[in-house]
């Protein structure tokens, strides 16, 4: 009789340990799932911070060119200048990007687009178009205007034309 109770106790202990092991595995799984979900917004914030840093770095160079534009030739040089911004970080720069209110081709973002909302820079998109058309039509035609008006990333094929700087500033019209 003693032997039967002892075996029963061992089975209860083993069963108890198995239940405890299962509960531990479930709790640890929930814990790791919760940690993973809480890290996803942080990854998104880092990505947004990196985009902002890339954008602001490009803006600094353009801003200096704008502030140095004290005569017509310097203003034209500012209007001709552009930056390449890999805003999505995939090392492919001839694709459509978006940051702020404008869509753009990552390989050629004109400085006047970058500084569109900067109150210190007086050369905005329409003013730059007028300067280039009047004084450097060859630059306007070769760099900014194309017969199809789409640019390297087919910008006008995008569904949102309200955020398209080419249309907003009139760069989809020929120089003449």
Report how far residue 105's alpha carbon sits from residue 102's, in angstroms, rounded to the nearest whole number. Answer: 10
Residue 57 has pLDDT above 80, yes or no: yes
Interval 98-109 mean pLDDT: 84
Any residues with CB less than 8 A from the CB of 140 and at least 6 apart, and which? 129, 132, 133, 175
Report how far residue 90's alpha carbon sits from residue 146's, in angstroms, rounded to the nearest whole number. Answer: 26
- Write the pLDDT tens digit of every residue in 9-49: 888 899 999 999 999 999 999 988 888 776 666 555 557 78
**Which residues, listed in sequence order, are joined to residue 109 by a DSSP beta bridge?**
83
pTM for this prediction: 0.67
For 100-109, 132-141, 142-151, which range has the lowest pLDDT when averaged over its residues?
Answer: 142-151
Query: What is the model's pLDDT at position 167?
Result: 83
Query: What is the model's pLDDT at position 34?
Result: 82
Residue 144 has pLDDT above 90, yes or no: no
Report how far residue 92's alpha carbon sits from residue 44's, in angstroms, rounded to the nearest whole number. Answer: 20
- Write the pLDDT tens digit of every residue in 149-174: 566 677 776 666 678 888 888 888 88
Residue 97 has pLDDT above 90, yes or no: no
Residue 112 has pLDDT above 90, yes or no: yes
Phi/psi for 120 (5° steps) reads: -80, -20
Query: What is the model's pLDDT at position 141?
Result: 84
Q: For the residues of the chain, what is the DSSP string, one character each?
A: -HHHHHHHHHHHHHHHHHHHHHHHHHHHHHHHHHHHHHHHHHHHHHHHHHHHHHHHHHHHHHHHHHHT--SHHHHHHHHH-EE---TTSSS--SSEEEETTEEEETTBEEHHHHTTT-TT----HHHHHHHHHHH-HHHIIIII--TTS-TTTTGGGSS--TTBHHHHTTTTS---
Residue 142 has pLDDT above 60, yes or no: yes
For 66-80, 85-99, 117-131, which range has the lowest pLDDT when averaged over its residues?
Answer: 85-99
Domain residue ranges of the chain, discontinuous segments joined by +: 41-168
Rounded percentage of the chain residues whose pLDDT exceeds 70:
84
| 128 compared with 154, residue with greater pLDDT | 128
């Amino acid at each position: 009789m003693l032997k039967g109770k002892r075996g029963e106790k061992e089975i209860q202990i083993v069963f108890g340990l198995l239940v405890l092991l299962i509960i531990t595995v479930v709790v640890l799984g929930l814990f790791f799932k919760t940690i993973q979900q809480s890290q996803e917004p942080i990854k998104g914030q880092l990505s947004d911070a990196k985009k902002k840093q890339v954008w602001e770095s490009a803006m600094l160079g353009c801003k200096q060119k704008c502030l140095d534009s004290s005569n017509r030739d310097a203003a034209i040089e500012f209007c001709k200048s552009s930056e390449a911004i890999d805003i999505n970080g995939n090392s492919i720069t001839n694709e459509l990007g978006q940051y702020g209110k404008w869509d753009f081709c990552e390989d050629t973002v004109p400085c006047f687009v970058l500084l569109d909302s900067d109150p210190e820079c007086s050369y905005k998109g329409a003013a730059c178009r007028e300067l280039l058309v009047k004084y450097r039509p060859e630059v306007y035609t070769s760099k900014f205007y194309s017969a199809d008006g789409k640019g390297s990333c087919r910008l006008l094929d995008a569904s949102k034309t309200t955020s398209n700087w080419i249309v907003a500033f009139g760069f989809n019209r020929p120089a003449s």
